[in-house]
Amino acid sequence: MPSVYIKTYGCQMNERDSEAVAAQLVAKGYTLAAGEATADVILLNTCSVRDLAEQKALRKMENVAAEIRRSRPDVVLGFLGCMAQSRGQELIDRLPDVDLVLGTQKFHRTADYLDDILACRREKIVDVAPEDKSEAAIREHLLNGNANKSVTAFVSIMQGCNQYCTFCIVPYTRGQERSRTIPDIVAECKELVARGVKEITLLGQIVTSYGKRDIPQKDGKSPFMQLIEAVHEIEGLERIRFTSPHPKGYGDDLVEAYARLPKLVESAHIPVQSGSDRMLKLMHRGYTRERFLGIIHKLRQVRPGIGVSTDFIVGFPDETEADFEETLSLAKEVAFDQAFIFKYSPRRDTPAAEMAEQLPKETKEERNQRLLDLINGIANRKYQTHIGEQMEILAEGPSKRNEARMMGRTRCNKIVVFEGSERHRGQVMDVKVIRAGAFTLYGEPDVLNDE
Ligand code: SF4
């Protein structure tokens, strides 16, 4: 059977989609190639959130076509995902070596289309049409290619977004919000737990909007809350996370859930984007600075040690120095454990790209650096405060930087590296923190709870 190599750009949703496509192909008999040099099929799962991501994928495909397709003309080349969705046929017009272009509602069609191309039944395929129920088609898992290896897994609960933030291309590439049913998601989670998974992250562009249009409120609880409770009941599951919520959907029912659902770990990634109300309005975010700070305050009252992270955009059109200082002051006030900063990048067909007051590159760079310095300084100090603490971790596997060591994650989502071994994988155990580095803690081996 042919071998396939999938390169993924972008967010966790894309990683998850690629994993599901790979698992579907493996189930059909394909093998997974270690790299593009040996693959019979090379697929790029693309991201459109920033221009840089699109340019990277285009350059990659140009190189693959020049270096690999020329020497092995039978190799099949394809684009999947967001850029495939937004550019469609244009990609084949620009890069005639490409055989397949599949949009964000077509991942589950990859195997059938590849079969057709490999059997020479069809030459070029472009399919970016919407497809009913495609949100339920992202459910297969590789679990690192070994049924018992991964102890954490992402479960896609919905696709799309209806928020239409003025900077964001996602509602155009991923479509309107479409949610899977609770029983379907719970069944997938149960299968994962039966295969050894201990921690599940519920995944969607805007998870707090889960089921809003299809699932009625029950006992005053939102569909998302109902889903968390249903997943919480799964025996053998140790931890639940979710990403990404939207501040406007962070209701009191969700805040209060942290107090009563022990498997819901004390960690929250809540994208704020800006500390300036004027910017938040121009971005069409749907909340104010005060509302955001109120959520953080309530969460910390319920779970004082909660780890809080966020996303920021700097250099949005018409962002003044005063607006940016509001962002700096919010970052200081919240004292995030981690933050991802993005320099605003205009995306075609989005309202912000048409705004007149685009900022120069230098301003974006300078603000990015100032915010980064502030965030890193705060996070560094916060990590230091954990030294000497006993923290619960879920041991996930060997550390990426040093395979001789193991790594786990605290409930508040901090990575802890420790001198363990394979037998610790999947264990929920306490370690004593002895050292802190940049976004990594180091645990004391002699307090490991071995069995
Ligand atoms: S909430 Fe806004 S930023 Fe997030 S996916 Fe939707 S439109 Fe994009």
User: What pLDDT was estimated at residue 149?
Assistant: 76
Determine the residue of 85, 169, 170, 272 to mutate for testing ligand 1's pocket, defined as the one with the most ligand atoms within 8 A of the Cβ atom.
170
Is 171 near ligand 1, meaning CB less than 6 Å away?
A: yes
Going from the Cα of 398 to the center of ligand 1, the distance in angstroms, rounded, reads 34
- pLDDT digit string, tens, across residues 128-174: 999 999 999 998 998 665 444 789 999 999 999 999 999 999 999 99
Is 272 near ligand 1, meaning CB less than 6 Å away?
A: no
CA angle (395, 426, 308) in 5-degree steps: 50
Whose CA is closest to atom 1 on ligand 1?
163
The answer to whether 425 and 148 have CB atoms below 8 angstroms apart is no
Q: Look at residues 78, 136, 66 and name the one whose alpha carbon lies nearest to residue 102.
A: 78
Is 13 near ligand 1, meaning CB less than 6 Å away?
A: no
Going from the Cα of 163 to the center of ligand 1, the distance in angstroms, rounded, reads 6
User: What pLDDT was estimated at residue 438?
Assistant: 86
Is 165 near ligand 1, meaning CB less than 6 Å away?
A: yes
* Residues of the chain with confidence (pLDDT) below 50: 146-148, 450-451
Q: Which atom of ligand 1 is nearest to the CA of 273?
A: 3
Going from the Cα of 179 to the center of ligand 1, the distance in angstroms, rounded, reads 16
Going from the Cα of 164 to the center of ligand 1, the distance in angstroms, rounded, reads 6
Q: Which atom of ligand 1 is nearest to the CA of 244?
A: 4
Q: Look at residues 312, 313, 311, 315 and name the one whose alpha carbon lies nearest to residue 363.
A: 315
User: What pLDDT was estimated at residue 69?
Assistant: 87
Please name the residue that has the structure tokens 């009625």: 216
Is 168 near ligand 1, meaning CB less than 6 Å away?
A: yes
Task: Please name the residues in contact with 90: beta carbons below 8 A apart, sequence gap of 6 or more.
Answer: none
Whole-number Cα distances in Å, 185 to 177, 189, 210, 443: 16, 6, 12, 35
Q: Is 133 exposed, middle or buried (0-12, 13-18, 19+ CB in 10 A)?
A: exposed
Going from the Cα of 284 to the center of ligand 1, the distance in angstroms, rounded, reads 10
Whose CA is closest to atom 8 on ligand 1?
168
- pLDDT digit string, tens, across residues 382-435: 999 999 999 999 999 999 888 889 999 999 999 999 999 888 999 999 999 999
User: What pLDDT was estimated at residue 35?
Assistant: 92
Is 340 near ligand 1, meaning CB less than 6 Å away?
A: no
Amino acid symbol at 20: A
The answer to whether 15 and 44 have CB atoms below 8 angstroms apart is no
Whose CA is closest to atom 2 on ligand 1?
165
Is 352 near ligand 1, meaning CB less than 6 Å away?
A: no
Going from the Cα of 167 to the center of ligand 1, the distance in angstroms, rounded, reads 8
Is 163 near ligand 1, meaning CB less than 6 Å away?
A: yes
Q: Which residues pair with 41 in a beta bridge?
A: 4, 76
Determine the residue of 14, 162, 165 to mutate for testing ligand 1's pocket, defined as the one with the most ligand atoms within 8 A of the Cβ atom.
165
User: What pLDDT was estimated at residue 145?
Assistant: 52
User: What pLDDT was estimated at residue 148?
Assistant: 45
